[in-house]
Structure 1
C-alpha cells in the first residue's frame, strides 16, 4: 500500500483519556475512563493518529449504539467493553490499509465500518448503505448528533444503488464471492474492494476470483481480540 493511501495514520497517540469529559454520555457511565484508556491504547497499537476529539467521538458513537440498541436492533453485544473491542476497535484495524477516495459500505448495519471510517478520516466521503430503514435512521440521527458531515446514509439494496466509488467495503457478507458480485458494479475505475473477514479466503474462493482479480489478503492484529481477522483487498486485473 502506498503512503498516500493512509495520510492520517502515520504517527501514534499516547494521550491518557482517563479524565475525558463525560458530557453527553448516557450508557457508559462509570466505565467511561476505562473504555477511554482501552481505546487510546488500541489506537496507539494500530499506529492511528487520532486526536482527543476523534477518540471522544468514537466513544460517543459507542454510547449511542448501546443507548439506542433496543429501539433499532443494532447489535447482539450489550457489554460496553466487548462492544468497544468487537465493533469499534475491530473496524479501526482496517483504517491504515484503506486506499484513498470515496467509500461505499455495503450492508453497513449500525454504520460499521462506515461511521468509524468517517470519524477517523474526515476528509473522506463515506456512503453507508443498508436495506434496513431503521438502522439507516439510526445512522442519520447519530451523524447529525456527532457532527459527521462526511457520512451519507442511504436505505436501499445494493442492486438499486447506481453510484460508483473508489473503495467499496463490507463487514456483513458471509460469502466473499457474493460480496464481489454485488460490489463490482459500484466500483470506479482503478477502485478497490475491501472485505472484512474472519478467516482468510479458501483456496476454492481464490480460484474462483483470481482470473479477474488481483487479491491481497492482509492479516489483521486487532488489539484485545483473539479471533482471526483479515482484510481482503481486490482490484480488477484488466482495467
Structure 2
C-alpha cells in the first residue's frame, strides 16, 4: 500500500532534516501524495510516477525550503502540481500561501487539494504572472523548476516588494542563468539543499534587487 510506504519514508526523511510535524500534518502530506498520484494519470502534473520516489522527490524536496520561508504571505509561481506550495502550506499553517499557475488543469487540481486537505491558508490564482494585480507585493516569491532566472525576474519582478526576495529552487547550479540576470538583480545567497533520498544536486538561489544599481 503506497500510503504505508509514504508514511515510513516521510518519517525517516524528516528526522535528518530536523523537521517536526504533527501526526495530522503527516496525514495531510500523505493524502496530498495520494491526490497527486491519482490526478497525475490524467493531468500530467509531474514526471515522478514511481510511488517509491514521491516522498523524496516531491515532499522532502519541497520541505527543504522550510528554513528559508519567513514571509507571512508567500507567492509560489508556476505552482504546477503544488510543489513546493502545498507541502509548505501544510507545514506552516500560520502563514499564507498563494499558488499561481496559468494552466487551468493544474489550478483545478490545486483547488481540489485545498478543499480536500482543508487548507484555509492557501488561495489559488489561475493566470500568468504578468496578469496579477501589481498592487499586491510579496516579500517572498518561490519557484521550483519554473523558468530561467532572467525570465522569472522579468515576469514576476513587479509582484515582489522593494525589499523582497525570490526563492528559486534549481537542480544543478545554473551558472549560465546567473550570468544572464539583468544588472539590477543579484544572487543574494546560495544554499545547497540536502534532501534525503535524492541523489541529484539541489540548490536554492535567493535573488533580490541589487542595492548598488538603484534597481
The two structures have a TM-score, normalised by structure 2, of 0.90
Which deviates the most, 58-67 or 31-40?
Answer: 31-40
Which deviates the most, 222-231 or 32-41?
Answer: 32-41
Structure 2 match to 1:171:
144
Structure 1 match to 2:121:
150
Give the superposition deviation at 1:201: 3.1
Give the superposition deviation at 1:84: 1.8
1:71 pairs with 2:42: yes
Contact 1:85 / 1:225 at 8 angstroms: preserved in 2? yes
Give the superposition deviation at 1:203: 6.2
Give the superposition deviation at 1:51: 1.0
Unaligned runs of 5+ in 2: none
Structure 2 match to 1:200:
173
Contact 1:218 / 1:230 at 8 angstroms: preserved in 2? yes
The two structures have a TM-score, normalised by structure 1, of 0.82
2:26 pairs, out of 55, 62, 80, with 55
Structure 2 match to 1:215:
188
Structure 2 match to 1:229:
202
Residues of 2 paired with 1:207 and 1:149: CA distance? Answer: 38
Structure 2 match to 1:25:
none
1:93 pairs, out of 64, 68, 71, with 64
Residues of 2 paired with 1:73 and 1:228: CA distance? Answer: 24
Structure 2 match to 1:41:
12
Residues of 2 paired with 1:87 and 1:69: CA distance? Answer: 13
For residues 11-31 of structure 1, the C-alpha deviation after alignment (integer angstroms, 9 at most, x for no partner) is xxxxxxxxxxxxxxxxxxx23
Match of 2:30, SS state, is: helix
Where do residues 128-139 of structure 1 align in structure 2 (5 Å cutoff)? 128-139=99-110
Residues of 1 paired with 2:118 and 2:162: CA distance? Answer: 31
For residues 57-81 of structure 1, the C-alpha deviation after alignment (integer angstroms, 9 at most, x for no partner) is 1010001101121232212322112
Give the superposition deviation at 1:235: 2.1
Contact 1:200 / 1:217 at 8 angstroms: preserved in 2? no
Contact 2:81 / 2:106 at 8 angstroms: preserved in 1? yes
Which deviates the most, 118-127 or 207-216?
Answer: 207-216
Change (3 A) 1:215 1:209: farther
When the two chains are superposed, the root-mean-square deviation of aligned CA atoms in Å is 1.8
Change (3 A) 1:173 1:75: closer
Unaligned runs of 5+ in 1: 1-29
Residues of 2 paired with 1:60 and 1:137: CA distance? Answer: 17
4+ residue segments displaced more than 4 Å = none
